[in-house]
Amino acid sequence: MNITLKNVSFSYTDSLDDAVIKDLNLEIRSGQCVILAGESGCGKTTISKLINGLIPHYHSGTISGDILLGEKNTADITLAEISRYVGSVFQNPRSQFFNIDTDSEIAFGCENLAMPREEILQRVDRIVDEFHLQKLMGRNIFHLSGGEKQKIACASVAATMPEIFVLDEPSANLDLKTIAELKEIIARWKKAGKTVVVVEHRIHYLREIADRICYVKDGRIAYEWTPAELEAKGAEYAASLGLRCVNLKKIGDARLRGHDKKSVIASGAKQSLHESIVFTDLQFAYNRKFPILNIPSFTLPRNQITALIGHNGAGKSTLAQVLCKKSDAYLIMQDVNHQLFTESVLEEVLLGMRPQNEKTALEILAGLNLEQYAYEHPMALSGGQKQRVAIGSGVSSGRDIVIFDEPTSGLDYRQMLAVSATLQKLATSGKTLLVITHDPEFILNCCSNIIHLEHGKIAEQYPLQGHQEKLIETMLDE
């Protein structure tokens, strides 16, 4: 089934004057795998919504132009009808599942399409086989990891056997190992002749599968390449467009060119100061038989950025929480919405400050490039800005140790660099930073130490300098 977008313009408001998509023409032939790449806000997610029918059937706005799936115009059929042909997977595993247990969730789409019971059971069995999900059956979805949830989401969508799959940043919250499993799933779909459209910042896991990459800029397709062509243009070209690295194996030398490399070496030099904070007896368990965290001794180098890596469930978040309790560290959470409370950015920074000093608060904001937003509502800002607000409140709390939980998931290259710069600034201003992350590019960019956590214990700890390859290998192996 071919996807055709003809002269499509769309705006989320009442008029096409502030259109997000401008006069777009796109043709995706049946069986192709296409990546829609681009910086945040370029309109690639909106294009995906044009394909899966959310526009025009769900989101309010103004549209002109036609969208055709095969011969049918999406405007003429219902969304339920479209869902027979197009399956959608989104980026946040925790808000995609409608049911509580895995079996019901996989059957959900089929049930909605009123397939007969026997057929649904057959399809579920087949999907479970294909996706190797036997271990996940009969379980409570709330107890699954992010990667497992995402696999169930893919299975649920695949069960209705659509012709087209649309995925919106499906790898955003996943670790490298799970991303590899996601890649297998997409490869299988491609092999079965399905059309796959993936909206992504991270192209590396699809470089062997994608047929072409469409670079979206200002609501138009600015460039198009095959993955090989893009890779041939070099890492700097991709970086200048805001794209994450295309080939993970070449990441070591590629991304450390230019100013990036300098800053890593600089922070590496500081290491010779040999000052560190030692924590002892970090433990946590829900019941004594199965301790989640069991670390007799934990050393954190001062004034440096340490990366905490480990597969999902190794206990990283638990370690962060235990550290917060034991040593008065400040945690910047993965979901920043949980820690924004007030009506203005300035208030937010003042909230944790004792004593409250507006001048100091404004200085903190200036240091984070947020002064112009001082009187804006924190929740109205973009994701990256919100994160900086949370960092601001962390700085104003005066705590020495700041922990970050997945600060770069879902960010494009430029945003990731901005976070990296902010963190480095914090480190030089005297804070000790611990970053929980799955993002190897980010680690190579600003971290100077690695701690590898496994099953609640520290498996390894080493400085990044000289160990870059070991890092990549460990992360790919997770």
Partner 1 sequence: MSNIRTTGKKSSNTLVRDLVNVGIFAALYIVLAFISSSIGYIPALIVFSIGSIALVTSIPLFLFFSKVERSILCCLIFCGFFGAAMFVMGQGILMLTISLLVGLLAGVILKVFGKSFAGLFSANIVMSLMSSSMMLPLWTSTEEYLKYTSTMCDAGYVAKLAELSQSPWPLVAIYAFGILGAIVGGLVARRVMKKHFERIGLAK
Partner 2 sequence: MKLDPRTKLFLAVVANSVILSAPLVYGALMFAVPAILLLLERKWRFVLVFFSVYLAAALGFEHLKTMDVGRVGTLGVSTMMIISRMMPIGIVLYYVMQTTKVNEFLAAMARIHVPTKLTIPLTVMIRFFPTVFDEARAIGHAMRMRGIRLFSLHTLKNPFSILEYRLVPLLVSITKIGDELSIAAVTRGLSPETKRTCVATIGFHVQDVIVFMYCLIVTGSFVIASHETAKQSFVDFLSALFC
**Contact with partner 2 (CB under 8 A): which of 113, 161, 374, 476?**
113
Return the range that interacts with partner 1 (CB under 8 A); candidates 34-42, 64-72, 86-94, 130-138.
Answer: 64-72
**Measured from the CB of residue 348, what is the shortest distance to partner 1 in angstroms?**
12
Question: Do the strands 220-225 and 212-217 form a parallel or antiparallel pair, or are they unpaired?
Answer: antiparallel
From 34, 63, 206, 364, residue interacting with partner 1 (rule: CB under 8 A)? 63
| Residue 211, number of CB atoms within 10 A of its CB | 17
If you search the block for the tokens 């789409």, which residue do you land on?
109
Sign of the alpha-carbon torsion through 470, 477, 434, 457: negative
Q: Say whether residue 60 binds partner 1 (CB under 8 A).
A: yes
If one asks whether residue 377 binds partner 1 (CB under 8 A), the answer comes out as: yes
Question: Residue 321 interacts with partner 2 (CB under 8 A)?
Answer: yes
Sheet containing strand 33-37, edge to edge, reads: 86-89, 164-168, 195-199, 33-37, 212-217, 220-225
Name the strand (E) or helix (H) holding 27: strand 21-28
52 contacts partner 2 (rule: CB under 8 A)? yes
Contacts to partner 1 from residues 80-99, by CB under 8 A:
80
Among residues 62, 263, 397, 461, the one that binds partner 2 under rule CB under 8 A:
397
Does residue 127 bind partner 2 (CB under 8 A)?
A: no
Q: Which one of the spans 145-153, 276-284, 372-380, 387-395 is the region binding partner 1 (CB under 8 A)? A: 372-380
Counting contacts by CB under 8 A, is residue 95 touching partner 2?
yes
**What b-and-e string marks burial along 111-128, b requiring 16 or more CB atoms within 10 Å of the CB?**
eeeebeeeebeebbeebb
Q: 3-32: which residues touch partner 1 (CB under 8 A)? A: 6-7, 10, 14, 16
Give whichever of 36 and 251 is closer to partner 2, judged by the CB atom.
36
Query: Does 120 participate in binding partner 2 (rule CB under 8 A)?
Result: yes
Residue of 170, 189, 167, 166 whose CA lies nearest to 179: 170
Q: Which two tokens stand for residue 465?
A: 């300098």
Instruction: Establish if 462 lies at the interface with partner 2 (CB under 8 A).
Output: no
**How are beta strands 195-199 and 33-37 bridged, if at all?**
parallel
Q: Which does 96 bind (CB under 5 to 8 A by kind): partner 1, partner 2, none?
A: partner 2
For partner 2, which is the closer residue by CB, 335 or 460?
335
Residue 147 binding partner per list partner 1, partner 2, none, with a CB distance cut-off of 5 to 8 Å that depends on partner kind: none
- Bridge partner residues of 291 (DSSP): 285
Q: Closest distance between partner 1 and the C-beta of residue 412, in Å?
A: 23
Q: 198's torsion region: left (phi>0), alpha (psi -120 to 50) or beta?
A: beta
Q: Does 306 bind partner 2 (CB under 8 A)?
A: no
- Rounded to the nearest whole angstrom, what is the least distance from the CB of residue 379 to partner 1 in the complex? 4
Across 90-219, the runs of DSSP E, i.e. the strands, are: 164-168, 195-199, 212-217
Binding to partner 2 by residue 196, rule CB under 8 A? no
CB of 137 to partner 2, least distance (A): 13
Out of 20, 33, 50, 53, the only residue in the binding site for partner 2 (CB under 8 A) is 53
Pick from 283, 336, 290, 317: which is nearest to 146 by CA? 317
Q: Do residues 433 and 375 touch, judged by C-beta distance below 8 A?
A: no
DSSP per position, 380-447: GS-HHHHHHHHHHHHHHTT-SEEEEESTTTT--HHHHHHHHHHHHHHHHTT-EEEEE---HHHHHHH-
SS3 87: strand
Binding site for partner 2 (CB under 8 A): 52-54, 57-58, 78-80, 83-84, 86-88, 90, 92, 94-101, 103-104, 107-117, 120-121, 124, 142, 153, 156-157, 160, 321, 324, 330-331, 333, 335, 337-341, 351-352, 354, 379, 393, 397
Please give the residue ranges that form the binding site for partner 1 (CB under 8 A).
Answer: 6-7, 10, 14, 16, 55-66, 75, 78-80, 343, 377, 379-380
